[in-house]
Structure 1
């Protein structure tokens, strides 16, 4: 099978290396060789960690789609629109298979691309778009095909997981650990895409479609990042028996499907609480299989290249299914459950003046909004110290909208000196 690759960054170079180093074993397993015949990248002279080949080089990625020898186009450029989308659409219209790692493009245009692929009898594969080397797309589309999936819960961003792990193990605050992550190459110079939850939300939108046979709907994802998580919150989480993780959650409810990305406190004795550093994990719950957990490296040259080559192997062997598990016409519109209707337990941290009546005032507001307190911790102060103190509350189950209204009222109390911090608790 003859392949054209657009984008020769760390992942593209990894794909070329893997296909070269494992050429014989891949040919034996697939039944025929897979060979790169054409490439496209911005700088032809740039040194890359990959073997040199006699490929045709295209200055414009879209030209790969017009190359009559190329059977499958691998898109590793990135970005929801622009060159990446133009290339993928051109390749599918030309009847060529497409393998992509582009979660942003799939999150924004997945249903349309799936329909275009089917119209032109051209396979569209994207194992590498979600959780790097973890084969979660194949698991949902094939391994768990006999199950009704009730929930997907994932750690889908290695940068955030690394930062939260370092905050927990070193006691440092977000800004200091972020700077270290940038120095080590785990975070970009502009980290917003990762730390504000957008990357994880793109991936969740794709997983939701696969799990629930819905059209991809990124706009329905509730997204929060980790900038507001403090070392103090990490410390309190430990005291209550939790660890803080940025989770991506899709779940069936009576009012529709929840899609949400935000920091969560998870019990410290659960498997997902022990997924640390840059690792990713995805837990799925099916009605027949029960809970299953997949864990591995969610990014990087080799793990992502492994996922790309897995898709290439399927296409070379003639194995391919509809992109999102069912024909595009059967992807029904997502019935989204409003975040305001979410019901769960909450961690609330307040910074207050240490004076009589503060707890009574806060409790009165929570009572008025039908929120009961499960546990409370107040940090005292030394004699003569006039510094503010932290008060932490763990609620019983409450409705998101009620909690939001209560916190708005609490923030207006004269004794409360900072906006309340809220982290949702997930029992998993």
Structure 2
């Protein structure tokens, strides 16, 4: 009879304890699916949890690197987090001794994925990371295995539940960003310092991983252009709603005539699109391939149980003896990631302006847009409130047909220089393709 797969788990936070409970609850079923049993043989954490039923009988280590080097485990499960430090060193130690590794650490993969992939190949030690992107959504397996017969044209998605919760609440309750962020923090959806989430950096790390899998490039988070959601105002949410859109923080990687463009930014998505209908803390990923057309995956993007589910799926692959290149192909065949300047982006734009209320102001704006060959699809001007009237300005919303980022930015810069627009114009890209 095949011996059980002995797990060494580094980190017993929400995901680690969720995994331990899942093993107890689904142990027999996992044994049947994997062809062998699994048991938690050893773990490391900030303090021993021997009193917990989930880890009873498992050996405690106070050092993750020592756990990775232990001789009585068959797979190292890294659930510590962080791009470097002990998590990175422990994963390297495990790979160097030929030990399979399962991780949920998107920051580490985004920063050091190429080095880890090379170690995985050199020591014939598979590296699995389904839980690193999309929580319980099986997007890594989908790209790395299920869609291997496709040429991927585009990957786009809602990859951060904190931002999706905030934008959903802003729309549903017509509240400002700060109030919705505070509520997200009270509910535990946002950290005390939310910059990594609301600034778009968490999404950028996840997008870099997906882009490497989709396009066969070396993972490079610095190639992703990043904008956060901090500037989104209730006026933008209301205008989007009236125009038939929702605002979502999207990560998008797509083939363009200039190369693979990678960007993270607030985006106008048509209400009928699956990504627009993904609300609250859910995540969603849309993949466009030449053979399958479009595929959209939706599900919980975080949480102990959902993430533990993805970790368990990787452990089943390890138990079955799966050997897959980390990013879907050998490291030597990965190309350099394209660095497409955002100024080359082409598409429609939503623009909100604070226009000086004087004769000729709108004509001046139209002239500057015309100079750059920008065609307007819609113009929306609301009746000015007393506050706006006293300030001598009028709020105006424009929607453009397809144009370039450089053209829209140049036209707006000229309107500001000429004094017909006050405050910084709000510019949001329109992604009609993100359905």
Normalising by the smaller structure, the TM-score range is over 0.9
- Identify if the C-alpha distance between structure 1 residues 402 and 27 changes in structure 2 by more than 3 Å, giving closer, same or farther: same
CA contact (8 A) 2:49 2:55 kept: no
Match of residue 101 from structure 1: 104
The superposition leaves residues 105-137 of structure 1 with CA deviations (integer Å, 9 ceiling, x where unpaired) of: 111111111111010010100000000000000
- Number of the residue aligned with 1:410: 415
**Out of 95, 110, 115, which is 2:118 matched to?**
115
Query: 1:36-185 to 2 correspondence within 5 Å?
Result: 36-44=40-48, 51-185=54-188
Show structure 2 runs of 5+ residues with no match. Answer: none
1:397 aligns with 2:422: no
TM-score (norm 1): 0.97
Q: Are 2:50 and 2:56, in contact at CA under 8 Å, matched by a contact in 1?
A: no
Higher mean alpha-carbon deviation, 245-254 vs 334-343, is at 334-343
Instruction: Choose the corresponding residue for 2:357, options 354, 359, 363.
Output: 354
Question: 1: CA distance between counterparts of 2:381 and 2:76?
Answer: 59
> Partner residue of 1:423?
428
Superposition deviation, residue 382 in structure 1: 5.9
2:302 corresponds to: 299
With 28-37 and 329-338 compared, the bigger mean Cα shift is at: 329-338
8 Å contact from structure 1 (residues 7, 41) kept in 2? yes
Identify the range of structure 1 (395-404 vs 237-246) with the bigger mean alpha-carbon deviation.
395-404
Scaled by the length of structure 2, the TM-score of the pair is 0.95
Deviations 1:214-257 (A, max 9, x none): 11011100000100011100000011111111111000111100
Structure 1 gaps of 5+ residues are: none
CA distance in 1, matches of 2:19, 2:11: 11
Q: CA RMSD in A?
A: 1.5
CA contact (8 A) 1:4 1:38 kept: yes
Distance 1:331 1:414 in 2: 49
SS in 1 for 2:77: strand
Q: Tell me how far apart the structure 1 counterparts of residues 224 and 197 of structure 2 sit (CA, whole Å).
A: 15
Matched, 1:2 2:6: yes
Distance 1:46 1:352 in 2: 65
Q: 1:378 to 1:34 in 2, by over 3 A?
A: same
